[in-house]
Structure 1
Amino acid sequence: MTVAVETGTWQLDRTASTVALKQKTMWGLVTVKGTFATFHGEGEVLSDGSAHGTVTLDVASLDTKHEKRDKHLRSADFFDVDNHPQITFAVRAAELRAGDTVHVTGQLTVRGISRPISLTASVPQAGAAAATLETEFIVDRADYGMGWNQLGMMRGLTTVTATLRFVRAATA
């Protein structure tokens, strides 16, 4: 990175962060978009430059601007919020690559099903007090037990986009 990120503990700044998804539906004619209103996260940057952490989403906070659809997404056909209220991405490693790019590996847990995932994030801003990561990656919802597809309306993969701003945690 052009600016080094300080070692120590970092907290997700929810007011400056976004997590969203989009999925093609209606035989690819309509793209459903939604955002998560409630989430939290934390991470740690170690002295060797490596990092690890967790981002947790409150599934019930997913908003697609359509109340009936949101209720269906919370049902057992999709996220099954009553039994699995959170989505968690546990970062196992984050390694600086060329320029302002970070390679991230971890475990994504949706509906109680965990799968390894790797993604690339850009770091448009980093400093002593705050750092921002931006990423977009693809998830196959069937890998997480979400196979509902009435009349073949839902095809393709789900795209997840995130802008995550972390701030230095206060030290005691």
Structure 2
Amino acid sequence: MSVAVETGTWQLDRTATTVALKHRTMWGLVTVKGTFTTVDGHGEVRADGSAVGTVTLDAASLDTKNAKRDTHLRGSDFFDVDNHPEITFAVRSAELRDGDQVHVIGQLTARGVSRPQSFTARLVDASADAVTLHAEFSVDREHFGLGWNQLGMIRGLTAVTASLRFKRSAA
């Protein structure tokens, strides 16, 4: 897909956006999956075609379909939502390359810790009024102070999957 996305401001369409994670636990025997139910964001496409913006997750909105586990994940062993209610990804640069590939460079902040993060997203749909990106990348939770690991049950990286739909902001 070769598309020139219109310059200007764009707002995340919360109803058409999903951000999910999965992580293997119980010594690799179980995969925990969860979805953030509250996501917000905005972006700006610049005249040179590059983009900047921010995606914000309500850390307390993570839903793994297990209330006891979700309560633990919101607590001080993990996200510590009382002190760090949001997880943010600040996009410093997003550039369309090689057809539908979008090279993204930014900074991920979780639990008050910020780390650089880059990945390649895929432009899956684009029109004059809406753009949809799909991204998959891995995060080392220990880099963000999420190191709780009773009996060594939790190993490896956390996989993040995002389908982000942006709509053109009204002028």
TM-score normalised by L of structure 1: 0.98
Aligned to 2:167: 167
2 CA distance for matches of 1:17 and 1:147? 28
CA displacement at 1:14 relative to structure 2: 0.6
Q: Secondary structure at the match of 2:71?
A: helix
User: 2:85 corresponds to which residue?
Assistant: 85
Distance 2:134 2:27 in 1: 29
Question: How far has the Cα of 1:99 moved from its partner?
Answer: 1.3
State the AA in 2 paired with 1:13: D
Q: Deviations over 1:96-135 (max 9, x none)?
A: 1101000000000000000001010000111100000000
Shift of 1:30: 0.3
Is 1:17 matched with 2:17?
yes
Q: Distance in 2 between matches of 1:161 and 1:48?
A: 28
DSSP 3-state at the match of 1:142 = helix
Q: Which residue of 1 aligns with 2:136?
A: 136
> 1-side partners of 2:121 and 2:159: how far apart?
14
1:9-53 Cα distance to aligned partner (Å, 9 max, x none): 000001011000000000000000000000100000011111100
Percent sequence identity is 73
User: Is there any run of 5+ residues in structure 2 with no aligned partner, and where?
Assistant: none
Deviation at 1:79, TM superposition (A): 0.3
Question: Distance between the aligned counterparts of 1:83 and 1:44, measured in 2?
Answer: 29
Amino acid at match of 1:63: D
The separation in 2 between residues aligned to 1:159 and 1:3, in whole angstroms, is 28
One-letter amino acid of the counterpart of residue 32, structure 2: V
- 1:126 partnered with 2:126: yes
Q: What secondary structure is seen at the aligned counterpart in 2 of 1:151?
A: helix
State the number of aligned residues: 171
Report the equivalent of 1:145. Answer: 145
RMSD across aligned positions (CA):
0.6
User: Deviation above 3 Å: which 4+ runs of structure 1?
Assistant: none
State whether structure 2 residue 63 is matched by structure 1 residue 63: yes
Corresponding position of 2:6 = 6
Cα shift readout 1:136-162 (whole Å, capped 9, x = no counterpart): 000000000011000110001100000
Distance across 1 between alignment mates of 2:2 and 2:124: 10
SS at match of 2:136: strand
SS in 2 for 1:122: strand
Equivalent residue number for residue 42 of structure 1: 42
Q: TM-score, normalised by structure 2?
A: 0.99
| One-letter identity of the residue aligned with 1:49 | G
Counterpart mapping for 1:69-108 below 5 A: 69-108=69-108
| Aligned partners of 2:73 and 2:79 also within 8 Å | yes
